[in-house]
């Protein structure tokens, strides 16, 4: 039993110890605590015999319980009050450790005591609060007092502990008792601030009063009731006395000293004292005051006085006349004589002076005379220099206003042209006078004007024409101004001279045939000669020639003698490629008389008719006569017109139609027959000497032989003479005379040559203006056989087959059927893509977008190529040589986004692509043609909605200029582009889709040189193509009747129809491409 008791005690102690460890030493790890407890259980607690048993104090009053704990050698731990419905107040509800547990002496026993709930006494009167506290077994602690804007006097503001707190019986409850609301100090505040302070203190504003005060500013509190610091019940009224400020006394009529004394006595100060004339108030007496009497103002405020000075003349100088008169009459005076005068300092209408002077004492009603200003008088500065004008204006009391510059034909540079205000005007002193100062005469822009127009423009602005010189120009038309000095816009003195450089036009381009010393005397070469002396070789010929002439854009040469002469072969007429010298066609010559020919001695084309003339040599008359003939370049038939006696070597027509011939200059029997130029009667052959051209040349020297040629220039007054020679015994040497001859004055001007060496000239001809840049002219794009005429290409819309009409004017020279292609392929254009002088056919596959090219030779396809392909959104809109290399290029348009593209072609390959730009889709490409004559095709646009025409001037892939020539009714469509007047510039051919009428715009770059209306045809006829059908260098209009299939041709001469032809017809399923 004892052992069990000990174990039980040990177990109890162990439990208590473990509880203590967990409660008091929470930082000790649980495993360690359990280990200690286990050891205690197994081994026993050390010193168990000294343990103290915890007494049972539950149910005991707190004091009794604490005494029992202490008497058991234990200590009282934490005492916690808790409300209990069963345990009487002040008695123990529970204890820890529990009763009967053995613990170490001095251990703590925590108690839970049945406590008391603190009652809520806030807001109660003090006595009631104390009664409630003692009734709750609590005591009243030491209280305090405090002001409150809400709690009535003597009531509880707050308590400690707060209501509802559980405390031990007898615990003190401390109270804060309300003293009521403390009245704030309001004296000196503004009324608004005081009222705000009252309400903020929980009080109300009582009935207030106002009163004057010499010390308290108006609107501020003089006094209050109750006084500041009084404790009053919340919501009590506080009455205010508010200041009205000081009251201004009435001092009007008092002497100045009496008025000032009254003002000071009222707590105010004397302000500004002024004097005023008065005819009623004695001097020294107050006339008026401000503020008025009775006004409430701030203490110390100033009161201004007006004191009578009696009748004194007022100062009216500087006042306007009206104001001065008012002042005078107001002073009981009258206005006397008023005079006007200029003044450089007094403004217009204001008083310059008065009499009597200001301040004079006069009798009432006296007159005061006035001098009134007219203002400053503007001096005349027109014609003066700017600095002189500034001085004059400053002297007149004025200033210089805005100075602008202007040109003047009469006023010298730096002098005044005009002024504003004008001279003599009366203005306010100090006013600004604007000046327009001359910068002299602006030199007009006369560049590109004709010389006459330039001289008129220069004289029109008061200048003179200075030194005038002439030079060649490839860009400025003959007779127009190339440059000027000074340049346009330069300001110069009136009457100055303007120097001009006038264009002599481009150096005239001549085509010549020379013997080349490097290849031998029997080989001729083709050269290009500019009339500024620059020579360039084109290429060697396959024959000897002694005559050159252009017919339209076709270059012909006549054979001097045949290399197969022994076999009796007749001489030939050759059509040459002007670019390479290659022979394009060989035409056998025959004389209409049937006589045998040795060769030719000259060719010339008659202006206006394009008739080819020549000098032929009959075998039996080599050294005596020349036959003057006309030649059909197609058949080679030469029709004799006359016989010329003499050794004539060349022919030339001037632009007026006069025919010239030149004789050779060579030794003959020891004497020299001088070279001469003659005019020739085309009908009789009679010759008249025009000029001996041997003088001044190298002619006449022994052992020298001359070869003379003659050509004409673009001016009707100019001829060109070329004399070549070689030294027979010493080989070849360059010794050439090239000169310009004036047809009227016969003045000769030698031209120095530069370029490749040559020695004997055998032919010379003028390159037509349409060919001055490349020597190739504007070839017919559809000239398939290089005949110089446009041919017609047909495609059958049903089976895809093709046909060709080789044309000769309005007749069909030959037909052919080069082949067919599948229906998906359509002809997109025709042009010479490989530069061989023969038009080629460009195809486009409408399904794949692929492009194909047929290289043509007449009616035959020589080769086929496929340059590339493009998106089907792109369409080939035109074919033309946009970069001037003699090869037609393709111009594309994207119908979806408006962009453009160009393929620069080299045969069947794309040399370079480019994208020059785009325009809105409302614009469509209407055609491609060289509108400015620079040998580069340009792009013509048409706006389908407005009818406006635009032109892109092209240079390869770049746009060099854009112009808008004009517009036309949308009933008109651009039906074709071609050079209808032979000036080297493409023109626009229009067709009215409503009434069938036609129109032509003759173009000069981006402007319309002249319009024309050649006629109209029924609407069944449609313009199929525009091209040079007859090889005269002028494009013609090809028509097709959509019902009958008939083809018609208008041969054009500018805007006029020279003749009409009907070459033939074709079934309606064939279309001209």
Residues 745 and 859 in one domain: no
With H, G, I as helix, E, B as strand and everything else as coil, classify residue 709: strand
Cα 137 off chain centre by: 99
CB atoms within 10 A of CB 635: 12
Q: Which two tokens stand for residue 854?
A: 């047929």
Distance CA 216, CA 493 (A): 84
Q: How far is CA 793 from CA 703, 805, 840, 908, in A?
A: 58, 7, 10, 19
With respect to residue 782, please indicate whether it lies within any of the assigned structural domains: no
201, 224 Cβ separation under 8 angstroms? no
One domain, residues 175 and 187: no
Whether 781 is covered by a domain: the verdict is no
pLDDT along the chain (1073 residues), means of 10: 40 44 43 42 47 92 91 91 84 92 93 90 88 90 86 90 87 90 90 89 88 85 89 89 89 90 89 82 85 88 87 89 90 90 86 91 83 89 91 90 89 91 88 91 90 91 90 77 92 90 72 55 72 80 83 83 55 85 87 89 86 90 87 92 88 87 64 76 92 58 48 65 54 63 85 69 65 38 72 80 81 84 87 84 90 88 92 91 88 91 91 90 91 89 92 91 92 91 90 91 93 89 88 87 87 90 84 81
- Residue 482 CB neighbours (<10 A): 18
**What tokens appear for 613 in the block?**
């003339």
> Is residue 434 assigned to a domain?
yes
* Cα 765 to Cα 548: distance, rounded to the nearest angstrom: 6
Q: Kindly write down the DSSP assignment for every residue of 59-83, as one continuous string.
A: TSBHHHHHHHHHHTT-EEEEEEEE-
Token duo for residue 99: 């009763």
Neighbours of 185 (CB within 10 A): 14
Dmax (CA) of the chain? 187
Token pair 């360059």 is found at 734
Q: State the helix-helix crossing angle for 30-43 and 2-24, rounded to 10 degrees.
A: 160
- Please give the Cα distance from 145 to 160 (Å, whole number): 14
Whether residues 411 and 455 fall in one domain: no
Q: What is the end-to-end Cα distance of the chain in Å, rounded?
A: 140
Q: State whether 597 and 683 are in the same domain.
A: yes
Cα dihedral across residues 561, 563, 567, 571: positive or negative: negative
Judge if 698 and 823 occupy the same domain: no
Q: What is the pLDDT of residue 6?
A: 38
CATH code of 955's domain: 2.120.10.30
Residue reference for tokens 């007006």: 306
Q: Are residues 558 and 577 in the same domain?
A: yes
List all residues 6 or more positions away from 155 whose beta carbon is below 8 Å from its beta carbon.
Answer: 123, 124, 125, 126, 177, 178
Shared domain check, 489 and 586: no
CB 610 within 8 A of CB 552: yes
Count up the domains in the chain and report the number: 10
Provide the CA 389 distance to its chain's centre, in angstroms. Answer: 43
Its domain, for residue 1, covers 1-49
Say what the pLDDT of residue 33 is: 44
Report the alpha-carbon distance of residue 541 to residue 525 in Å, rounded.
5
* 786 part of a folded domain: no
Task: Tell which residue, 923, 998, 1024, has the closest CA to residue 939.
Answer: 923
Go through the chain and tell me how many residues it has.
1073
The CATH number that applies at residue 644 is 2.115.10
- Pair 714, 696: CB distance under 8 Å: no
CA-based nearest residue to 1009, from 1036, 980, 975: 980
- One domain, residues 403 and 371: no
Classify strands 108-114 and 75-82 as parallel, antiparallel or unpaired.
parallel
Distance CA 469, CA 837 (A): 40
Q: Please report where in the chains the tokens 């009258």 appear, as a residue.
A: 334
513 and 648 together in one domain: yes
Q: How far apart are CA 756 and CA 534, in angstroms?
A: 9
Sign of CA dihedral 77, 81, 82, 85: positive
Does residue 624 form part of some domain? yes
108 and 136 assigned to the same domain: no
Nearest CA to 988 out of 917, 930, 1039 is that of 930
Q: Using alpha carbons, list the distances in angstroms from residue 752 to 456, 722, 735, 755.
A: 35, 11, 11, 10
Supply the pLDDT for residue 670: 46
In terms of phi and psi (left: phi > 0; alpha: psi -120 to 50; beta: otherwise), the region of 430 is left
Q: What is the CATH number of the domain that holds 235?
A: 3.30.10.20
The pLDDT assigned to 359 comes to 85
Show the CA angle centred on residue 630, arms to residues 629 and 633, nearest 5°.
Answer: 130
The Cβ of residue 153 has, within 10 Å, a number of other Cβ atoms equal to: 18
| Spatial distance between the Cα atoms of 288 and 305, rounded to a whole number of angstroms | 6
Identify the domain boundary among 133, 166, 181: 181
Q: Cα separation of 690 and 710, whole Å?
A: 13
Pairing of strands 590-591, 637-645: parallel
Residues 237 and 278 in one domain: no
Rg of the Cα atoms in the chain:
64
Report if pTM > 0.75.
no
Tell me what percent of the chain is helix, strand and coil, each rounded to the nearest 5.
10, 45, 40
List, in sequence order, every beta strand (DSSP E) within 743-873.
Answer: 748-750, 760-766, 792-796, 801-808, 811-820, 825-831, 840-845, 850-857, 860-869
Listed residues 503, 519, 551: the one ending a domain: 503
* End-of-domain residue from the set 503, 526, 549: 503
Q: Is residue 787 included in any domain, yes or no? A: no
Q: Is the distance from CB of 356 to CB of 386 less than 8 angstroms?
A: no
Do 238 and 259 belong to one domain? no
User: Is residue 473 assigned to a domain?
Assistant: yes
């Amino acid at each position: 039993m004892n052992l069990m008791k000990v174990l039980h005690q040990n177990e109890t102690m162990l439990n208590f110890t473990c509880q203590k460890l967990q409660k008091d030493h929470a930082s000790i790890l649980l495993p360690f605590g359990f280990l200690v407890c286990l050891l205690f259980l197994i081994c026993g607690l050390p010193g168990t015999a000294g343990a103290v048993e915890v007494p049972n104090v539950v149910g005991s009053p707190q004091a009794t319980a604490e005494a029992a704990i202490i008497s058991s050698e234990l200590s009282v731990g934490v005492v916690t009050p808790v409300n209990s419905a069963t345990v009487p107040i002040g008695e123990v509800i529970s204890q820890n450790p529990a009763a009967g547990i053995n613990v170490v002496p001095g251990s703590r026993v925590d108690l839970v005591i049945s406590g008391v709930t603190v009652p809520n006494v806030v807001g109660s009167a003090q006595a009631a609060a104390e009664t409630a506290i003692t009734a709750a077994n609590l005591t009243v602690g030491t209280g305090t007092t405090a002001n409150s804007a809400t709690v009535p006097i003597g009531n509880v503001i707050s308590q400690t502990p707060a209501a509802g707190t559980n405390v031990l019986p007898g615990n003190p409850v401390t109270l804060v008792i309300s003293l009521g609301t403390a009245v704030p100090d309001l004296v000196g505040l503004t009324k608004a601030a005081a009222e705000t302070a009252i309400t903020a203190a929980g009080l109300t504003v009582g009935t207030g009063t106002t009163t004057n005060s010499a010390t308290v500013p108006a609107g501020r509190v003089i006094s209050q009731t109750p006084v500041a610091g009084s404790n009053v019940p919340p919501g009590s009224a506080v009455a205010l006395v508010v200041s009205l400020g000081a009251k201004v006394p009435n001092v009007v009529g008092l002497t100045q000293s009496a008025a000032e004394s009254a003002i000071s006595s009222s707590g105010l100060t004397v302000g500004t004292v002024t004097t005023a004339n008065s005819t009623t108030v004695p001097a020294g007496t107050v006339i008026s005051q401000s503020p008025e009497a009775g006004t409430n103002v701030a203490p110390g405020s100033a009161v201004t006085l007006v004191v009578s000075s009696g009748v004194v003349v007022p100062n009216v100088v500087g006042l306007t006349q009206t104001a001065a008169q008012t002042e005078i009459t107001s002073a009981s005076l009258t206005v006397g004589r008023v005079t006007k005068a200029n003044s450089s300092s007094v403004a217009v209408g204001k008083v310059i002076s008065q009499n009597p002077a200001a301040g004079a004492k006069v009798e009432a009603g006296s007159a005061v005379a006035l001098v009134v200003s007219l203002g400053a008088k503007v001096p005349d500065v027109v014609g003066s220099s700017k600095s002189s004008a500034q001085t004059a204006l400053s002297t007149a009391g004025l200033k210089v206003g805005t100075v602008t510059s202007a040109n003047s034909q009469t006023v010298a540079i730096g002098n005044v042209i005009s002024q504003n205000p004008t001279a003599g005007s009366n203005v306010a002193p100090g006013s600004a006078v604007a000046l327009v100062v001359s910068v002299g005469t602006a030199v007009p822009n006369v560049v590109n004007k004709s010389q006459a127009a330039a001289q008129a423009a220069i004289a029109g602005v008061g200048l003179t024409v200075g030194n005038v010189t002439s030079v060649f120009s490839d860009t400025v038309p003959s007779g127009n101004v190339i440059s000027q000095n000074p340049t346009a816009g330069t300001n110069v003195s009136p009457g100055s001279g303007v120097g001009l450089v006038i264009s002599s036009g481009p150096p005239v381009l001549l085509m010549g045939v020379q013997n080349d010393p490097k290849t031998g005397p029997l080989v001729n070469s083709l050269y290009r000669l500019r009339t500024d002396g620059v020579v360039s070789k084109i290429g060697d010929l396959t024959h000897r020639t002694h005559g050159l002439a252009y017919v339209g854009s076709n270059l012909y040469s006549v054979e001097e003698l045949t290399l197969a002469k022994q076999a009796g072969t007749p001489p030939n007429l050759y059509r040459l490629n002007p670019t390479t010298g290659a022979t394009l066609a060989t035409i056998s010559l025959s004389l209409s008389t049937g006589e045998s020919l040795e060769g030719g001695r000259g060719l010339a084309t008659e202006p206006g008719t394009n008739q080819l003339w020549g000098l032929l040599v009959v075998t039996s008359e080599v050294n005596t006569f020349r036959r003057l003939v006309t030649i059909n370049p197609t058949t080679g038939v030469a029709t004799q017109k006359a016989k010329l006696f003499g050794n004539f070597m060349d022919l030339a027509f001037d632009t007026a139609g006069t025919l010239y011939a030149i004789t050779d200059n060579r030794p003959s029997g020891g004497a020299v027959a001088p070279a001469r130029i003659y005019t020739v009667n085309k009908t009789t052959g009679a010759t008249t000497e025009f000029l001996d051209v041997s003088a001044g040349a190298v002619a006449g020297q022994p052992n020298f032989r001359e070869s003379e040629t003659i050509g004409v220039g673009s001016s009707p007054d100019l001829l060109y003479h070329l004399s070549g020679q070689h030294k027979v015994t010493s080989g070849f040497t360059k010794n050439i005379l090239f000169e310009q001859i004036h047809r009227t004055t016969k003045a000769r001007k030698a031209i120095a040559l530069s370029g490749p060496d040559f020695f004997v000239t055998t032919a010379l001809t003028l390159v037509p203006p349409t060919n001055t840049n490349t020597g190739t002219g504007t070839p017919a794009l559809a000239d398939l056989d290089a005949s110089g005429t446009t041919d017609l290409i047909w495609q059958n819309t049903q089976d895809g087959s093709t046909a060709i009409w080789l044309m000769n004017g309005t007749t069909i020279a030959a037909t052919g059927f080069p082949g067919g292609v599948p229906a998906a392929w359509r002809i997109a254009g025709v042009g010479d893509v490989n530069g061989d002088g023969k038009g080629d056919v460009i195809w486009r596959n409408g399904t794949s977008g692929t492009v194909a090219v047929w290289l043509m030779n007449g009616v035959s396809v020589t080769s086929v190529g496929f340059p590339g392909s493009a998106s089907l959104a792109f369409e080939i809109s035109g074919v033309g040589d946009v970069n001037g290399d003699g090869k037609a290029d393709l111009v594309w348009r994207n119908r979806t986004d408006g962009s453009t593209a160009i393929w620069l072609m080299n045969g069947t390959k794309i040399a370079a692509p480019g994208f020059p730009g785009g325009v809105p889709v409302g614009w469509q490409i209407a055609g491609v043609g060289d509108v400015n004559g620079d040998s580069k095709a340009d792009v013509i646009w048409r706006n389908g909605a407005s009818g406006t025409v635009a032109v892109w001037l092209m240079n390869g892939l770049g746009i060099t200029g854009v112009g808008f020539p004009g517009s036309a009714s949308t009933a008109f469509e651009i039906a074709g582009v071609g050079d209808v007047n032979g000036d080297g510039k493409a023109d626009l051919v229009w067709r009215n889709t409503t009434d069938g009428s036609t129109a032509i715009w003759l173009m000069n770059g981006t402007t319309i040189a002249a319009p024309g209306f050649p006629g109209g045809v029924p609407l069944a006829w449609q313009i199929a193509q525009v091209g040079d059908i007859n090889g005269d260098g002028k494009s013609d209009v090809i028509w097709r009747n959509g019902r009958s299939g008939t083809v018609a041709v208008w041969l054009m001469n500018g805007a006029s129809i020279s003749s009409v032809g009907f070459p033939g017809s074709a079934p309606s399923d064939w279309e001209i491409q």
